Amino acid sequence: MQSDFVLLDTDVFISLTRGKQTAARYEPMVAGKLVVLSFASVAELWRGAYAMNYKEASRRRLEASIAATVVVPPTDGLTQAWARLTHDARSAGHALGQKAQTHDAWVAATAIHHELPLLTGNARHFAGLPELTLVT
């Protein structure tokens, strides 16, 4: 486990970068850590920016916030980890085996493949994955 790093789920990243009330809950969990994002979270963030019709200044702020993290790109090893995770989740009846949870499955696979702890506000989406370490 890489304790110097913490992988953020999209919801936590949004909370921390937009100064939401829940940010205070997460700040101690990221203090002194290198913040990591899955490429899937970056895609979700940009989809949200387009959906909310971000103006140029907001797009630049989002870009700068993302640039302040380490973004994990898709690799062959990660895609295999995602395939195994979603197959196993589907077989076990876990939510991450559902197509609607594709982004969360990528985030979980990133955490598992790179042995990163995952900080999420949606622990129930990820609960029950034996190889995944959730930050609480």
pLDDT of residue 19: 81
* pLDDT beyond 60 at 1: no
pTM above 0.85, yes or no: yes
CATH of 5-131, one of 3.40.50.1010, 3.40.190.10, 2.40.160.10, 3.40.50.300: 3.40.50.1010
Band the pLDDT of 67: cuts 50, 70, 90.
Answer: very high
Band the pLDDT of 83: cuts 50, 70, 90.
Answer: very high
Percent of the chain with pLDDT over 90: 83
CB atoms within 10 A of CB 33: 17
Strand partners, 72: 38
- State the Cα–Cα distance between residues 33 and 60, nearest whole angstrom: 24
pLDDT of residue 7: 98
Q: What are the DSSP E strand ranges found in 1-116?
A: 5-8, 34-38, 70-72
- State the Cα–Cα distance between residues 14 and 37, nearest whole angstrom: 12
Of 112, 95, 119, give the one whose Cα is nearest residue 33: 119
| pLDDT tens-place string over residues 3-42 | 799 999 999 999 999 887 888 999 999 999 999 999 999 9
